[in-house]
């Protein structure tokens, strides 16, 4: 099996890799695979680090069976008929990637999205989510410090590694503040780990809403805390996951008490948003900083102020709920939005090592099977058609007929 690690060409550039040099060397030694790496000046691991591990560097990927990337591949760089692994950002009908799906179909590409590689219980097998949550929480605090001037924090990207960041956290003197964190998966867990390491105390949702604190606290919400049945029936998590359109938001009490919101949920477009712009204009809307790790772009989003992604180079923009327009950051009459869509790229080597380990453990063995339900469920397109698991994208892709595919 010939596997190619492709150069990341999306702008802004991403320096993460699906497999590190040492992982490539181990795989070639222990598995029946040959790995080629497309030369790149932007990776967190240099060409020379791959070369030193005996990995072939090349600009020719045509003879590879499988091409591994991280972010979306620009349409003009797609090779026809290949199998691509990437975060395609098409499964929620994201408007900005519609042309990518068209091109993948037109070129007969077998597209496998990391986001839908799941086990039989629906649990994701491979993700950068924990690192996105870690950097998202760090950046939320950095933004609040910049906004208020009450403390100073370096950017995560400016620390050598997370150990150095933790050592700095131990010196922080934080003011009293209240942080609401949504989500209990990889993203939420990573964010909570950073808040813990900063010395911020976790409290229950009830305590968060009903007690006063003289120090920094956070609470972590799962879906039962911010959603309720429209008909008043008892909340059931499984029902919410399968029928989110039956639910309404009950997040209001939390936006009346929180200074910072860190959003780390996987949002279904049928589910209610946490709040609308009208609510953001209310005098009791207290949140000053929103770190939207989910980064779904409005209007198809859980956060209406996430009107565009931000970037590692320019991480924060302001949002004026009265006009619905973007403003400069850190203004008293606007809400600050941190919506970087490649947060793990602030910890690229740590994140890449973890991601590669997950790929080797959970995904690579499936590629050697004659039939893999895990792979089949994650194939979006094959032979110029959407597969049966992704027929709901038919209108998004502008198709009138859809093949069975995998």
Would you list the DSSP string of 193-234? HHHHHTTPEE--HHHHHH---SS-EEEEE-HHHHEEETT-PP
Question: What's the longest Cα–Cα distance across the chain?
Answer: 63
Instruction: Name the β-bridge partners of 336.
Output: 289, 318
402 confidence band (pLDDT: 50, 70, 90): very low
Give me 43's structure tokens: 């990776």
403 confidence band (pLDDT: 50, 70, 90): very low
400 confidence band (pLDDT: 50, 70, 90): low
pLDDT, tens digit (0-9, with 9 covering 90-100), for 25-35: 999 999 999 99
pLDDT, tens digit (0-9, with 9 covering 90-100), for 181-213: 999 999 999 999 999 999 999 999 999 999 999
Contact predicate 174/276, CB 8 Å: no
Q: Which residue has the tokens 């839908």?
A: 116
Task: With a cut of 80, say whether residue 404 has pLDDT above it.
Answer: no
Phi first, then psi: what are they for 118, rounded to 5°?
-135, 155
Q: Which residue has the tokens 């859980």?
A: 302
For residue 101, the 8-state DSSP code is H
Instruction: Name the β-bridge partners of 111.
Output: 84, 381
Contact predicate 387/54, CB 8 Å: no
Contact predicate 230/248, CB 8 Å: yes
Distance CA 296, CA 290 (A): 13
DSSP state letters, 333-364:
TSEEEE-BTTGGGGSHHHHHHHHHHHIIIIIH
Give ∠ CA 288-329-261 in degrees, rounded to 5.
30
For residue 194, give the nearest of 274, 291, 289, 335 by alpha carbon. Answer: 291
Q: What confidence score (pLDDT) does residue 12 get?
A: 78
Phi first, then psi: what are they for 295, rounded to 5°?
60, 40
Distance CA 232, CA 209 (A): 22
- Within a 10 A sphere around the Cβ of 173, how many other Cβ atoms? 7
Give me 254's structure tokens: 């939390």
In this prediction, residues 367-372 reach a mean pLDDT of: 94
Distance CA 59, CA 44 (A): 18
For residue 11, give the nearest of 338, 226, 309 by alpha carbon. Answer: 309
Task: With a cut of 70, say whether residue 2 has pLDDT above it.
Answer: yes
């Amino acid at each position: 099996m010939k596997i190619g690690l492709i150069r990341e060409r999306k702008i802004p550039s991403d320096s993460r890799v699906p497999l590190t040099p040492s992982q490539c060397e181990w795989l070639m030694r222990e598995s029946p695979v040959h790995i080629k790496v497309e030369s790149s000046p932007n990776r967190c691991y240099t060409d020379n680090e791959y070369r030193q591990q005996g990995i072939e560097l090349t600009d020719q990927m045509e003879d590879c069976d499988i091409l591994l990337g991280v972010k979306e591949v620009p349409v003009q760089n797609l090779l026809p008929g290949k199998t691509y692994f990437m975060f395609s950002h098409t499964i929620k009908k994201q408007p900005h990637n519609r042309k990518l799906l068209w091109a993948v179909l037109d070129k007969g590409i077998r597209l496998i999205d990391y986001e839908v590689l799941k086990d039989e219980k629906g649990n994701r097998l491979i993700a950068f989510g924990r690192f996105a949550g870690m950097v998202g929480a760090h950046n939320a605090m950095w933004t609040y410090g910049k906004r208020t001037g009450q403390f100073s924090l370096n950017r995560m990207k400016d620390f050598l590694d997370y150990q150095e960041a933790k050592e700095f956290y131990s010196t922080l003197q934080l003011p009293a503040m209240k942080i609401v964190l949504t989500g209990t998966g990889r993203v939420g867990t990573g964010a909570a780990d950073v808040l813990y390491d900063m010395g911020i105390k976790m409290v229950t949702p009830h305590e968060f809403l009903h007690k006063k604190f003289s120090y920094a606290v956070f609470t972590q919400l799962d879906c039962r805390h911010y959603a309720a049945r429209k008909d008043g029936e008892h909340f059931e998590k499984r029902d919410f996951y399968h029928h989110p359109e039956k639910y309404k938001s009950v997040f209001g009490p939390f936006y009346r008490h929180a200074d910072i919101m860190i959003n780390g949920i996987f949002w279904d477009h049928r589910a209610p948003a946490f709040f609308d712009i009208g609510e953001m204009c209310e005098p009791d809307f207290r949140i000053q900083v929103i770190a939207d790790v989910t980064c779904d772009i409005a209007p198809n989003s859980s956060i209406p102020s996430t009107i565009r992604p931000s970037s590692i180079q320019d991480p924060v923009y302001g949002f004026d709920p009265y006009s619905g327009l973007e403003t400069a950051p850190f203004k008293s009459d606007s809400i600050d939005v941190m919506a970087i869509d490649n947060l793990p790229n602030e910890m690229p080597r740590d994140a890449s090592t973890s991601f590669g380990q997950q790929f080797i453990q959970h995904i690579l063995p499936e590629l050697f099977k004659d039939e893999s339900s895990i792979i089949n469920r994650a194939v979006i397109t094959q032979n110029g058609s959407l597969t049966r698991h992704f027929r709901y994208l038919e209108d998004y892709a502008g198709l009138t007929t859809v093949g069975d595919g995998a």
